[in-house]
Amino acid sequence: MKVVDLSKILAGPYVTMSLADLGADVIKVEHPDGGDPTRAWGPPFNGPDATYYLATNRSKRSVTLDLKSAAGQEAVHRMLADADVMVENFRPGSSLARLFNYQELSARYPQLVILHISAFGDTGPLRDEPGYDMVAQASAGLMSLTGEPDGPPVKAGYAMGDLGAALFGLIGVTSALVERERTGHGQYVSTSLYESQLALHVNWATGYFATGERPTRLGSGHPSLVPYQAYPAADGHFVIAVGNDGLFRTLSTALGHPEWADDPRFATNRARVTHRTALNAKLQAVLVDAPVAHWVDLLKPLGVPAAAIRTLDEVYDCPQTAALDMVQKVDHPDVGPLEQVAFPVTFRGAR
């Protein structure tokens, strides 16, 4: 499968890198004036390029073309003649969007699946507005849900707008390729950072639709489960995730307070959510007296989900990460082998 990647930044390049991981021949087209802007998004750098760029552009062939020049456009059309997929994130209404529009491309290359990723979608009053990940997180409500109750809105640690659009875009492309097997024709596939964030609201959205109440920030807490958050221990924080009343009874007994499970305020999850503050105060009073390892080692054998909050150095030193073979080396022509996070799906047990 041949993929022509006209996208830049994160969402589009993540789609095409994923397709490359799955075996596609991906040709990344970059502008001669510096290429993809993420090449300069550092530090850190590894060789001439920022590690941000390296994170989403492995396993691709690269070519430099000025898409606004006749020669550059002709070169792209030669690539599209036998391509299966084209990915772009041109700003709606831009000259490049007009030059490489689906109507003309589909007439010339009926086999072609075209993925367009935008900030706000193809229709509506915001369709022509540009936007980066943080704009999507803000405008689609994610930042209103992230952070401490009395603190300011907080950006998620990952680029959820870009990555959400990338994953939904990848689903769209693979679905269109399956449909092409039946019809013989490609099609236009579109998603946006905004749409992907709305789709990821999931229970937040259904809760709002049912009640009409504006959700508030809960820190690490869960709107519908208690206890299900980070708690302070003597030497740091860890998480407890109690998803049913049986687990809460086990937790209560393990902490030396079996009576909590029979307290009407805490006996059911519905009651615990109502009395979240009172229960958390009791839990914190107990948990702060011992270190994280003590509580995790106590609770996990009992089947109560609990985990230390790891830093990235701890994550990549973890035996589970190694066992999954999630860190692999990729050869780079300028800087040699690079460690990268692998595609997170196995096929018949292999990556």
Tokens of 63: 């070519």
Strands 306-308, 236-241: parallel, antiparallel or unpaired by DSSP? antiparallel
Question: Cα–Cα–Cα angle for 84, 88, 92, nearest 5°?
Answer: 135
- Per the CB < 8 A criterion, the answer to whether 92 and 56 are in contact is no
User: Would you tell me how many other CB atoms lie within 10 Å of the CB of residue 340?
Assistant: 20
Residue 77 vs residues 13, 50, 83, 102: alpha-carbon distances, Å:
20, 30, 10, 13
* Residue positions counted in the chain: 351
Gap between the Cα atoms of 48 and 334, Å rounded: 9
3-state helix, strand, coil in the chain (%, to 5): 40, 20, 40
328 phi and psi angles, rounded to 5 deg: -130, 160
Among the listed residues 162, 245, 331, 334, the single catalytic one is 162
Q: Residue 84: name the closest of 223, 177, 221 by CA.
A: 177
Gap between the Cα atoms of 329 and 13, Å rounded: 19
- Per the CB < 8 A criterion, the answer to whether 98 and 88 are in contact is no
Residue 36 known to be catalytic = no
Residue 185 vs residues 113, 176, 274, 325: alpha-carbon distances, Å:
8, 9, 54, 37
In angstroms, the first-to-last Cα distance of the chain is 18
Which DSSP letter does residue 301 get?
G
Q: Which residues are tagged catalytic?
A: 162
